[in-house]
């Protein structure tokens, strides 16, 4: 464990050696003021993250590439070798290829930011370590699974004597201020500003200063992670708040989680996957393979296969994050034979493979293998994000091929999880991303640097972050803020691992995805082409309306808080498949479109995943009718007679009920009229009695007049 004497610079150590004279105690406000404001504090309140130096370098690079190309083309007719103008690019390309091969960010500025963040986290860890002590945990504490117990079985606690010393004694203050000066230097080296990871780390440091001083900052809104009422009042006492701050820091120290990225990739609790699987023999296609998840012991097969089409730019474990957060785990319990596409991490040998390989060749091979293994079973499909985007045209093309060869369509239902299909600048919600592409994406730069090594996940992440303002800050901030909750760090570990371990995107496929899908909207416009073994279909646009004629039932699950696949872009079930608007459909198995107040990666929440599983299970149990080859427009649904009869009976019951309701309304109306007449009669009788009484008190001539007045009243007979 570090001590103050270990950390104190030699000069200061000699200067303050033996000095224990008390000095004015440092307060939390004074410690925060010593940190001063830097761009890590986001003083301009930027809503997003600005990587200004990376953006500047990128613009310079694009300008130089364009100029070099123009010079090369201009002097080519004169026999001047192009290398004279483009030779400077080669060492940059080589460095990029090496970085991609080693999993590093090819942007040196971003790499330096990571170095600074790691150094900052390391200094927080050293500071907390020096101020804490270890106490042997009791068996009861170990059984409780406290978050402040490290892996060696010791419970961590702040040493108040040391904390007081660094606040009250000259040597301690010098040691602490030397640390804070080191944090300042790292902040000024940082190459980004706004909502950055470093800002989240500085908030954590500010909470540590409060623990050291034993008091919160005087301004409530400056208290990190403190929850206030709507009126800005305290919801906790200062002591309760400081206890939470201590527990948060001790839990992060016990789990070695100050550096979120390193923790995500190295922690033993960040292991991905809840279910065992095997690679299907003979399924390897470059880095791509087919996983098979065997049924757990004691679970009975339901006679159906589930084919899971994962996205290309993330690890397929999005379907199987961890126990309790696994779609695979839930579907296995329902008795499915589950197969999943695992795209792996494509290497340079896949750089020239286009979308047709990943969206046609792979599915042809794997579905063929599944049908050979389970010839009698139907196949349900579940796809996530771009996995669903690419699978839908594949399925339509496969139906076209079956219409020629006369085979049976095994796929009857498709579940789409936040899968975009429609891309434009108005209704789809994709304008922010399309603007980013048009402004920053350069096909020439991508071709020059990534054509032989594929697009790294860090480059993909830049685009994703551009449409999610401040996501780098919010992820780190959320992780730190929840660290004081029991089990929160271990619970978040698998997702953090998945988030920080993206995969490479094959260069050619990436270019086609950007141009054909995002910018040209080819699938929605009916212009997207796929290869085929049949000449009349090979290279021709896919007829997406085949999904309608084949009676494929589609399930769209989309999130209202999803900027990656906005609600307006997840519209497959609204246009194709078994839609409710088709009046000929009298059988079950219609499309379903469900919107929830969720984000793109909702499966990380056990509650949200549970809601999804409930909805998707209900959908898959409502099967559409059998497949009819070469079905024509206008062909009625092949409903069994019993179902037709049931529909007729339901209609008849509805009509009877309607008649009964009409009759009841008529009776109520009649009663109301009778009541009204009765009231009128009662009024008349009362009036008549009054008049008779009046006549009795007056002469006979007046009585005759009263009698004439009563004649109209006598007509009120029933």
- DSSP reduced 3-state for 29: helix
Q: Which helix (H) or strand (E) holds 266?
A: helix 260-266
Statement: residue 28 has pLDDT above 80: yes
Give the pLDDT band (50/70/90) at residue 628: confident
Q: 115, 94 in Cβ contact below 8 A?
A: no
List the structure tokens of 16: 């303050």
Cα–Cα distance between 468 and 462 in angstroms, integer?
Answer: 10
pLDDT value at residue 632: 78
Q: What is the DSSP track for 176-200?
A: HHHHHHHHHHHHHH---EES-HHHH
Question: Looking at 318-465, which runs of residues are DSSP E strands?
Answer: 337-342, 378-384, 411-417
Residue 670 dihedral angles phi and psi, to the nearest 5°: -65, -45
The tens digit of pLDDT for each residue in 179-193 reads: 999 999 999 999 999
Statement: residue 674 has pLDDT above 50: no
Mean predicted lDDT score pLDDT of the chain: 87
Cα–Cα distance between 292 and 307 in angstroms, integer?
Answer: 10
List the structure tokens of 268: 């033993």
The tens digit of pLDDT for each residue in 73-105 reads: 999 999 999 999 999 999 999 999 999 999 999
Residue 141 vs residue 304, higher pLDDT: 304
Q: What is the DSSP track for 201-245?
A: HHHHHHHHHHHHHTS--SSGGGSTT--B-TTS-BSS-HHHHHHHH
CA nearest to 589, candidates 421, 417, 411? 411
203 CB-near residues (< 8 Å, 6+ apart): 224, 225, 477, 480
For every residue of 109-158, which 3-state class applies, written as one string?
HHHHHHHHHHHHHHHHHHHHHHCEEEEECCHHHHHHCCCCECCCCEEEEE
Statement: residue 57 has pLDDT above 70: yes
pLDDT value at residue 94: 96
Cα–Cα distance between 259 and 136 in angstroms, integer?
Answer: 26
């Amino acid at each position: 464990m570090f001590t103050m004497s270990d950390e104190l610079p030699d000069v200061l150590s000699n200067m303050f050696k033996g000095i224990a004279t008390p000095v004015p105690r440092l307060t939390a406000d004074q410690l925060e003021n010593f940190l001063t404001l830097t761009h890590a504090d986001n003083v301009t309140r930027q809503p997003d993250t600005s990587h200004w130096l990376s953006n500047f370098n990128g613009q310079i690079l694009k300008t130089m590439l364009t100029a070099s190309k123009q010079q090369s083309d201009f002097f080519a007719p004169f026999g001047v070798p192009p290398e004279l103008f483009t030779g400077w690019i080669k060492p940059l390309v080589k460095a990029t290829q090496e970085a991609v091969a080693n999993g590093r960010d090819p942007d040196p500025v971003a790499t330096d930011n990571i170095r600074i963040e790691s150094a900052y986290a390391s200094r927080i860890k050293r500071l907390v370590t020096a101020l804490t002590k270890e106490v042997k945990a009791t068996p009861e504490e170990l059984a409780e699974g406290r978050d402040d117990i490290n892996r060696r079985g010791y419970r961590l606690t702040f040493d108040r004597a040391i904390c007081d010393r660094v606040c009250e004694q000259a040597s301690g203050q010098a040691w602490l201020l030397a640390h804070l000066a080191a944090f300042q230097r790292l902040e000024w080296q940082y190459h980004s500003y706004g909502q950055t990871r470093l800002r989240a780390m500085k908030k954590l440091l500010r909470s540590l200063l409060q623990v050291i001083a034993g008091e919160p900052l005087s301004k409530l809104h400056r208290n990190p992670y403190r929850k206030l009422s709507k009126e800005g009042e305290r919801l906790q006492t200062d002591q309760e708040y400081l206890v939470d701050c201590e527990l948060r820091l001790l839990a992060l120290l016990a789990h070695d989680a100050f550096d979120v990225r390193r923790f995500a990739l190295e922690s033993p609790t960040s292991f991905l996957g809840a279910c065992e699987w095997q690679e299907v023999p003979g399924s390897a296609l470059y880095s791509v393979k087919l996983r098979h998840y065997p049924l757990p012991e004691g679970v009975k097969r339901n006679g159906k296969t589930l084919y899971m089409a994962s996205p290309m730019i993330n690890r397929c474990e999005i379907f199987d994050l961890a126990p309790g957060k696994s779609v695979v785990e839930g579907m296995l319990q329902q008795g499915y034979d589950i197969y999943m596409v695992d795209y792996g991490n494509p290497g340079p040998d896949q750089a020239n493979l286009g979308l047709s390989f990943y969206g046609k060749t792979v599915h042809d091979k794997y579905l063929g293998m599944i049908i050979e293994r389970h010839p009698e079973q139907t196949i349900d499909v579940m796809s996530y994000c771009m996995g669903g985007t690419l699978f839908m045209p594949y399925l339509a093309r496969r139906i076209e091929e079956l219409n020629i060869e006369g085979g049976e369509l095994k796929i009857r239902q498709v579940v789409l999880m936040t899968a975009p299909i429609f891309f434009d600048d108005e209704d789809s919600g994709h304008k922010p991303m399309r603007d980013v592409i048009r402004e920053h994406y350069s096909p020439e730069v991508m071709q020059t640097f990534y054509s032989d090594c594929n697009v790294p996940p860090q480059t993909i992440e830049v685009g994703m972050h551009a449409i999610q303002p401040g996501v780098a800050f919010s992820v780190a901030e959320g992780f730190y803020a929840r660290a004081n909750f029991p089990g929160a760090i271990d619970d978040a570990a698998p997702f953090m691992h998945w988030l920080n371990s993206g995969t490479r995107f094959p260069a050619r496929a990436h270019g086609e995805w950007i141009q054909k899908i995002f910018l040209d909207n080819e699938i929605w416009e009916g212009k997207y082409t796929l290869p085929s073994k049949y000449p009349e279909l090979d290279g021709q646009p896919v007829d997406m309306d085949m999904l309608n004629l084949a009676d494929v039932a589609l399930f769209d699950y989309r999130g209202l808080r999803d900027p990656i696949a906005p609600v307006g872009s997840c519209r497959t079930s609204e246009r194709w498949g078994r839609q409710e608007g088709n009046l000929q459909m009298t059988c079950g198995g219609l499309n379903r479109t469900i919107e929830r107040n969720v984000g793109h990666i909702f499966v990380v929440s056990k509650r949200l995943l549970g809601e999804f599983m409930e909805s998707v299970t209900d959908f898959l149990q409502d099967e559409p009718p059998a497949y009819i080859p070469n079905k024509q427009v206008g062909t009625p649904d092949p409903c069994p007679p019993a179902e037709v009869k049931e529909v007729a009976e339901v209609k008849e019951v509805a009509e009877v009920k309607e008649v009964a309701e009409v009759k009841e309304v008529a009776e109520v109306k009649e009663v109301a009229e009778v009541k009204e007449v009765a009231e009128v009669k009662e009024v008349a009788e009362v009036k008549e009695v009054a008049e008779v009484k009046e006549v009795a008190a007056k002469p006979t001539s007046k009585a005759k007049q009263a009698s004439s007045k009563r004649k109209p009243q006598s007509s009120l007979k029933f």
